[in-house]
Structure 1
Amino acid sequence: MKRALIVVDVQNEYFTGNLPIAYPPREESLAAILAAMDTAREHGVPVVVVRHTAPAGSPIFAGGGHGWELREEVAGRPYDLLTDKSMASAFAGTGLGGWLDARGIDTVAVAGYMTQNCDESTARDAYHRGLRVEFLSDATGTVALSNRAGRLTAEEVHRNVLVVMDSNFASVATTAEWTAAVAAGEPLPRPDIWASTRQEPVAARG
């Protein structure tokens, strides 16, 4: 297997802008993201940094604004590719898929923000491209949601996505578990939709 780490939208918008990450606490998720980047560098895993860009005047991620800029801790670490996107998935309208293919990468780990939006969209697209997907539960995070369909706390949004991801689309793991797998050169356990329908209690992740 050949891994890459995709670090999605770790931008100021989620810290000092209009979308402050609420769960897991953003300082904790940021620390996990940085730890994953350090692990990747130590073990020769390519790192892709993704940045979301919205039109000027947008209330969030307006290109060139402070909220659009990468967190300095991420920007200051080495990475192999920086790609800008305008849609949720890091694969949509970018050259990411071709870049991964050209390097023979068959497994991607997803970290960054937000759990249910750009992270989940990127993970699903990777899965449908035939890639093996790893989803770092404590290196992702989100906000509370409220709309015509109902209300969810940030924790409910986050945990629900993790359960769905690990049922079929991605191997959900903590950053520590992922680090151990990378160091050992071993894959994470594959998701199993049949096992996920058995209604047996399992330990929550992240």
Structure 2
Amino acid sequence: MKKALLVIDYSYDFVAPDGKLTAGEPAIALEQSIADRIDAADKNGENIFFMMDLHYENDTHHPEHKLFPPHNIAGTPGRELYGKVLEKYKEIEGQDNVFFLDKTRYSAFSGTPLHHLLKERGIDTVVLTGVVTDICIMHTAVDAYNSGYGIIVPESCVASFNPDGHKVSLEHFKNTLGATVEP
């Protein structure tokens, strides 16, 4: 098994108490666990992908426009990685095994070079961390499954603003996608 760590949407807007679309305390509680995962992946020489939601001011054509308030707007502080995750990124930024990719849909695979980068590096398993469990983590997990990747979801590294959606998603990962859900 050759793994890659995906850190999905762990931005100020999704995590900070005053973020534009915050998951709040559940997301803040992930900070150290995700930072620890980044450290471990880096020490093991694994590839680390920071997948960041990207939106543009006044974009009325994006499908999320009608569903959510504006968030993760290009060039704003809300789009920056949050807390210790930002610190870890700054420590490893520029390494050959570290990538920062923009995404404009829920899934980290949709419209990004992620699949290509994973395949050319011989990666067969993705470790999904970040927010929001029942939206971007879920859609990424489904696309990973449909593309033939093994999936690991550390429960201590994913969160949602919807506790019921979070719980259902963890069950879906295990029972429908065959993912390993770790503590």
Distance 1:75 1:26 in 2: 14
Distance 2:84 2:24 in 1: 19
**Which aligned segments of 4 or more residues in structure 1 are displaced greater than 4 angstroms?**
none
Name the counterpart of 2:131.
113
Distance 2:23 2:32 in 1: 13
What letter is aligned with 2:9?
D
Name the counterpart of 2:50.
49
Return 5+ residue gaps in structure 1 as ranges. 144-153, 175-206
Distance 1:22 1:171 in 2: 25
Q: What is the DSSP-based 3-state SS (H/G/I as helix, E as strand, rest coil) of the residue aligned with 2:154?
A: strand
Q: What is the DSSP-based 3-state SS (H/G/I as helix, E as strand, rest coil) of the residue aligned with 1:93?
A: coil
Name the counterpart of 1:62.
73
How high is the TM-score relative to the length of structure 2? 0.84
Contact 1:107 1:132 in 2 (8 A): yes
Distance 1:160 1:11 in 2: 23
What letter is aligned with 1:21?
A
Name the counterpart of 1:148.
none
Asked if 1:142 corresponds to 2:160, the answer is yes
Name the counterpart of 1:163.
171
What letter is aligned with 2:172?
V
How high is the TM-score relative to the length of structure 1? 0.75
Structure with bigger RCO (C-alpha 8 Å, 6+ apart): 2
Distance 2:112 2:124 in 1: 18
Deviation at 1:72, TM superposition (A): 4.5
How big is each residue's C-alpha offset from its partner over 1:73-127, in whole Å with a ceiling of 9 and x where there is no partner?
2233225111001000001001010000000000110000100111111111011
Q: What is the DSSP-based 3-state SS (H/G/I as helix, E as strand, rest coil) of the residue aligned with 1:126?
A: helix
Name the counterpart of 2:34.
33
Root-mean-square deviation (CA, aligned residues, Å) is 1.5
Deviation at 1:162, TM superposition (A): 0.4
Contact 2:32 2:84 in 1 (8 A): no
Name the counterpart of 1:21.
23
Deviation at 1:138, TM superposition (A): 1.5
Return 5+ residue gaps in structure 2 as ranges. 60-69
Contact 1:127 1:133 in 2 (8 A): yes
Deviation at 1:51, TM superposition (A): 0.8
Distance 2:56 2:101 in 1: 16
Count of residues in Structure 1 that have an aligned counterpart in Structure 2: 163
Distance 1:27 1:9 in 2: 13
Instruction: Determine which of 122, 145, 157 is the counterpart of 1:127.
Output: 145
**Percent of aligned pairs with the same amino acid:** 29
Q: What is the DSSP-based 3-state SS (H/G/I as helix, E as strand, rest coil) of the residue aligned with 1:62?
A: coil
